[in-house]
């Protein structure tokens, strides 16, 4: 039977990714690229109540500082406190961005991961797991967890560390999905009682930007990631729809160093010394886009309202977070002496949200 035009483009995109993988990856990674896993069909998790709201608006905390532990503590206090997560006795999974073996902002700052793991542990969690799956041609994740320092930081904080391609999978068929109607998703991430997303803030050559929504791609089986079907034209919608699988109760976006041009593996970095925290993944992505736009260096995010970015637009339509920037309240603080640019940045973000 002949391929349709769409199938031809999809397979062309897959082939482009597969060629470097053939050269660089071991046989087990080739298996992940070529064959579906086995796994039970499970329902999408129900969307939980956002514990961090005020007067009907989703809170997003922006904190400036030099010490990630101090910054994280203050950011969560600004949201209302860690107790709102109900961590005691729960199995908690932290999902950083371990795209490859490079330092931030290609990957999440290990100090941010350690600070979150320590806080969760101190709040009485029964188990803390740090887990991710690297980019397809950057596998295996296990080596990247070690090279980036995330493994050592997480284990020192009392967390167990997983490379997701080595773990079981579950299959999802979300009824609301149109672009990604079936996919395999990491079982440890699906089974976690509390999911905390810890992306890094960066620009992205194909997805335009990467933050909370995009970070869950690392929990999707390699064959079902948007990059494999790049030529289908619905990359952004696929990113949003895979977020129907699970729902972070908290997102901690690492802006200690931010990639403001290029990405996701390499690009122009800026020392921004920021953490963003929220219980609403769409709200934090809108703030991240506004932050990236403030530099004026990445044309893919310029020339339109931040709410028109296709990832966040589709996610909002699916009910995964706020529908408008006017539904967000930004709370901010500097825990160390901040440059005047920090005050200007926060005001810029607030103005962007009003027109989102």
State pTM to two decimals: 0.93
Q: Measure the CA–CA gap between 145 and 169, rounded to whole angstroms.
A: 20
pLDDT digits (tens, 9 = 90+) for 230-280: 666 798 999 999 999 999 999 999 999 999 999 999 999 999 999 999 999
Helices (H), 131-257: 141-147, 150-156, 187-191, 212-215, 235-242
pLDDT digits (tens, 9 = 90+) for 287-320: 999 999 999 999 999 999 999 999 999 999 999 9
Report the pLDDT value the prediction gives residue 212, as an integer from 0 to 100: 98
Q: Which two tokens stand for residue 280?
A: 């609403």
Taking the mean position of all CA atoms in its chain, how far away is CA 48? 18
Radius of gyration of the chain (CA): 19
Give ∠ CA 328-55-350 in degrees, rounded to 5: 25
Domain chopping of the chain, boundaries:
5-354
Residue 209, helix vs strand vs coil:
strand
Q: What is the band of 5 on the pLDDT scale with cuts at 50, 70, 90?
A: very low
Question: Regarding predicted confidence, which is higher, 332 or 20?
Answer: 332
Report the pLDDT value the prediction gives residue 341, as an integer from 0 to 100: 95
């Amino acid at each position: 039977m002949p391929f349709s035009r769409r199938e031809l483009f999809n397979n062309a995109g897959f082939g482009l990714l597969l060629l470097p993988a053939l050269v660089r990856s071991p046989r087990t990674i080739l298996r992940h690229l070529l064959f579906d896993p086995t796994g039970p069909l499970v329902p999408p998790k129900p969307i939980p109540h956002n514990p961090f709201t005020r007067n009907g608006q989703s809170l997003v905390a922006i904190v400036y500082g030099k010490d990630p532990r101090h910054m994280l503590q203050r950011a969560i206090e600004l949201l209302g406190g860690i107790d709102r997560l109900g961590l005691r006795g729960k199995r908690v999974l932290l999902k950083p961005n371990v795209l490859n073996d490079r330092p931030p902002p290609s990957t999440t700052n290990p100090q941010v991961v350690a600070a979150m793991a320590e806080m969760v542990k101190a709040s009485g969690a029964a188990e803390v797991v740090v887990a991710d799956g690297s980019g397809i041609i950057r596998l295996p994740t296990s080596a990247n967890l070690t090279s980036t320092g995330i493994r050592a930081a997480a284990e020192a904080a009392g967390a167990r560390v997983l490379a997701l391609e080595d773990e079981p999978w579950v299959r999802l068929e979300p009824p609301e999905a149109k672009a990604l109607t079936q996919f395999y998703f990491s079982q440890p991430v699906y089974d976690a009682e509390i999911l905390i997303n810890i992306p890094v803030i960066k620009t992205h050559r194909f997805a335009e930007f990467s933050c909370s929504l995009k970070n869950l791609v690392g929990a999707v089986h390699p064959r079902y990631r948007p990059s494999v079907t790049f030529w289908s034209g619905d990359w952004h919608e696929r990113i949003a729809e895979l977020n129907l699988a699970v729902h972070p109760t908290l997102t901690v976006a690492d802006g200690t160093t931010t990639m403001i041009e290029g990405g996701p593996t390499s690009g122009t970095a800026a020392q921004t010394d920021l953490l963003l925290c929220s219980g609403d993944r769409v709200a934090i992505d809108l703030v991240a886009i506004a932050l990236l736009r403030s530099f004026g260096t990445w044309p893919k995010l310029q020339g339109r309202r931040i709410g028109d970015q296709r990832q966040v637009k589709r996610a909002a339509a699916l009910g995964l977070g706020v529908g408008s920037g006017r539904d967000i309240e930004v709370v901010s603080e500097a825990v160390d002496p901040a440059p005047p640019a920090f005050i200007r940045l926060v005001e810029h973000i607030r103005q962007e949200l009003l027109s989102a």
